[in-house]
Chains A and B, each alone.
Chain A
Amino acid sequence: MHSNASDIPVQSPGSPAPAPLSADAQDALKIVVVGGFGVGKTTMVGAVSEIRPLSTEEVMTEASVGVDDPSRVRSKTTTTAAFDFGRITITEDKILYLFGAPGQERFWFLWDQLFAGSLGAVVLVDPRRVEESWYAIDRLEAHGTPFVVAINRFEAGPGLDALREALDLSEGVPLVECDARSRDDCKAVLISLVRHLNDLYAPSPAREGTP
Chain B
Amino acid sequence: MNPRPIDREDPDRLYTVTGGRSRSDEGIFDSVTLIVSECEPKAGMQSEHMRILRMCERPTAVVEISATLGMPVSVVTILLRDLLDMGRITVRHPSSSVADAQAHTPAPETLKQVLDALQRL
Shortest CB–CB separation between residue B33 and chain A, in angstroms? Answer: 8
- B1 at the binding interface (Cβ < 8 Å): yes
Please state if B32 and A97 are interface contacts (CB–CB under 8 Å).
Answer: yes
Tell me whether A90 and B2 are in contact (CB under 8 A). no
CA distance A195 to B63 in the complex (A): 27
A58 with B110: CB separation less than 8 A = no
Are A117 and B96 touching (Cβ within 8 A)? yes
Q: B6–A57 contact, CB under 8 A?
A: yes
B72:A55 contact, CB within 8 angstroms: no
B45 sits at the interface (CB 8 A): no
Given A54-B64, A83-B1, verify A29-B94 contact (CB < 8 Å).
yes
A89 to B101, CA, bound (A): 22
B106 interface hit (Cβ, 8 Å): yes
Q: Are A56 and B67 in contact (CB under 8 A)?
A: yes
Give, as a whole number of angstroms, the nearest-CB distance from A62 to chain B. 7
Closest to B5 in A: A80
From residue 59 to 108 of chain A, which have CB atoms closer than 8 A to chain B?
A: 59, 61-63, 80, 82-85, 87-91, 94-97, 100-102
Assess the A25–B59 pair: CB atoms within 8 A. Answer: yes
Q: Which of A33-58 contact B (CB under 8 A)?
A: 37-38, 41-42, 48, 54-58
**Given A30-B96, A58-B66, 16 more pairs with CB closer than 8 A:** A13-B4, A29-B106, A54-B67, A55-B4, A57-B66, A63-B23, A84-B2, A88-B118, A88-B121, A90-B113, A94-B110, A97-B32, A101-B1, A113-B73, A119-B106, A201-B105
B residues with a Cβ closer than 8 A to A are 1-4, 6, 22-23, 26, 30-34, 55, 57-61, 63-64, 66-75, 92, 94-97, 101-102, 104-106, 108, 110-111, 113-115, 117-119, 121
Give the 6 A-B residue pairs with the shortest CB-CB distance, closest first.
A117-B96, A13-B70, A28-B32, A20-B58, A14-B70, A54-B67
